[in-house]
Amino acid sequence: MIKNLFLPLFAFLAVFTLSLTNPAFAEIVPWQMDFQDAVTPAMEHINSFHNMLLYIISGIVAFVTILLVYVLIRFNAKANPVPSTTTHNVLLEVIWTVVPVVILIVIAVPSFKLLFFEARNPEPELTVKVTGYQWYWGYEYPENGDIAITSNMLAKKEVDTSKGQTYLLSADNPMVIPVDTNVMFQVTASDVIHSFAMPQFGIKVDAVPGRLNSAWARVTKVGTYYGQCSELCGKNHGFMPIEIKVVSKEDFAAWIKKQGGHLKETPAATEAKAEVKEEIQSAAPIEAKDVATEIKTNK
């Protein structure tokens, strides 16, 4: 048996050793041992939940492994030639029923809290409508004027590494959003089902034709982030990346202006305009009345 395992093991080690010399291994970065760095509160919660599950799963695996090793040693045919004929053990049955239930409750409570946190959709400061097409993305800013852009993957010859662009991930027109802003993504599709997924945001929502799904994010770090369509949508499914540039609020305002749009009015600004409008409306009749009185008096 050992001889039969030796050849496959040797082949695996040889291939693995040779693969380490591949230049692609120079691209390895620390987060590949874990999730990508979290840049939103939702993803931070997902990371915490994942780490908690990792401890629980590791404990279960360790316990089951120890139990199996004990059974193999204690109850093999040589050590235990006469097996027990016991068929029921009430205490043991209660334990292996109650313990999994307790573990599931421990998992369920933070799981539901995470689901509610992700689904709460706080008051949006910016709304971006995302539409999936075969095979590219469309982004609209309905509250910022008539801004609509299409985002296609850059061809290999168009990629400029000096600008930090990456083949298969960079797009010609990335989405732009401001940092430290509640952004609501309204997600739909025009043809088939796609999926809008941004790992570092903790977002993965289906884009379904005729339906408007939503997700939200509040990105805490300026930078460029990448995602991809995560639903098989045709032959070019693997070539419709999502690139999002998170910029300062000042740079975002400049970008909106450059696109021919305008910033969304804040509630305070809206209230101020309403007050001014009300003052003008209430003052106009008084002024007209005074003028009419003066005319009548003069006559």
For 26-54, the pLDDT digits (tens) are 455 665 678 888 999 999 999 999 999 99
pLDDT band per the 50, 70, 90 thresholds, residue 5 = low
pLDDT band per the 50, 70, 90 thresholds, residue 84 = confident
Give dist(CA 37, CA 20) in Å, integer.
25
For residue 225, count other CB atoms closer than 10 A to its CB.
24
Q: Give the residue with greater pLDDT, 293 vs 15.
A: 15
Which candidate, 202, 207, 262, 252, places its Cα nearest to that of 227?
202
What are the backbone angles phi and psi of residue 176, rounded to the nearest 5°? -120, 130
Distances in Å between the alpha carbon of 212 and those of 120, 142, 152, 215? 16, 14, 22, 10
- HSE-up (13 A, CA, CB side) for residue 187: 23
Domains and CATH numbers, the chain: 34-119 (1.10.287.90), 126-258 (2.60.40.420)
273-282: per-residue pLDDT in tens? 445 444 434 3
Lowest mean pLDDT across 4-8, 17-21, 90-94, 110-114: 17-21
Tell me, what's the pLDDT at 25?
47
pTM of the prediction? 0.74
User: Span 122-135, mean pLDDT?
Assistant: 94
Lowest mean pLDDT across 28-32, 43-47, 111-115, 164-168: 28-32
End-to-end Cα separation, the chain, in angstroms: 122
pLDDT band per the 50, 70, 90 thresholds, residue 24 = very low
